[in-house]
Amino acid sequence: MQLTFYKYQGTGNDFVMIDNRQLKFDKNDTKRIAFLCDRRFGIGADGLILLENHSTADFKMVYYNADGNESSMCGNGGRCITAFAKHLGMIKDSATFEAIDGMHEATIDNTVVSLKMQDVPTVENHKTHVFLNTGSPHHVQMERYLDQLDIKTKGSKIRYGSPYNEAGSNVNFVYKNSNDNFSVRTYERGVEDETLSCGTGVTAVALAMHYIGETEKHTITLQTQGGVLKVSFEKAENGYDNIWLIGPATKVFKGEI
């Protein structure tokens, strides 16, 4: 079967994009999805995203990790699918779409896509880390020597360790550059390695840094391995709302496989 695909990336977080409005793609074929994401034998990506029709919104987003399994929300993927929908002529400069964690709004200005994330009602502050769910579960901990970390080894130990165990958590390591600027490196479950950027991850970092008093700002700049993202938010009673993830999302190429 011939498959037309598009490759998109948001600060180095890359995705295979497929227009599945005709519902011809087999969603149950996890081996095929994993093959398409394979960087040696397939196209190569951190995940695969299907764009589908929706009865009331502009479109629906179905996201799979590189291991072939449908996953929780992907922030950079949400920004990339918005750029993809504009490329297909489905939207102009704004969109509403449904993802696995509910409805989202997005705006697009040239290559910059701003995605409204779900509210975060609770944040857990532990002695060594912060835990919160920004559409996906995230462990956030500060590190003094971020560049020297073996992210895959250290991240996997935390990801599979107690209390996360089999369900697992994404793991973010953070260094404070200034009051409103932080460097982040992320180990992603499902990819089982470091990714150049993670949208729900930098969102979690921004909220966590505000929650524990490392910043009083409500717009935070996050330096990832793949580029710069911004997160803006408002403090709610116990958590955060009006959360926006902002950064570039661009088409890399179109192909057939």
- Tell me if 59 sits within 8 A of 53, measured CB to CB: yes
- Which run of H or E residues covers position 18? strand 13-19
Tell whether the torsion through CA atoms of 29, 31, 34 and 38 is positive or negative: negative
Q: Which of 81, 113, 198, 208 is catalytic?
A: 198
Q: Residue 20: helix, strand or coil by DSSP?
A: coil
Q: Around Cβ 95, how many Cβ atoms within 10 Å?
A: 23
74 is catalytic: yes
CA angle 247, 233, 172 (to 5 degrees): 65
Q: Residue 234: helix, strand or coil by DSSP?
A: strand
Of 181, 194, 187, nearest in space to 222 by CA: 181
37 is catalytic: no
- Which DSSP letter does residue 233 get? E
CA distance 89 to 37: 26
Q: Show the tokens assigned to 165.
A: 């165990």
Q: Show the tokens assigned to 142.
A: 């500060």
- Which run of H or E residues covers position 245? strand 240-248
CA distance 53 to 58: 7
- Which DSSP letter does residue 200 get? H
Q: Which of 33, 45, 74, 123 is catalytic?
A: 74
Q: Show the tokens assigned to 217.
A: 């700002």
Active site residues: 74, 198
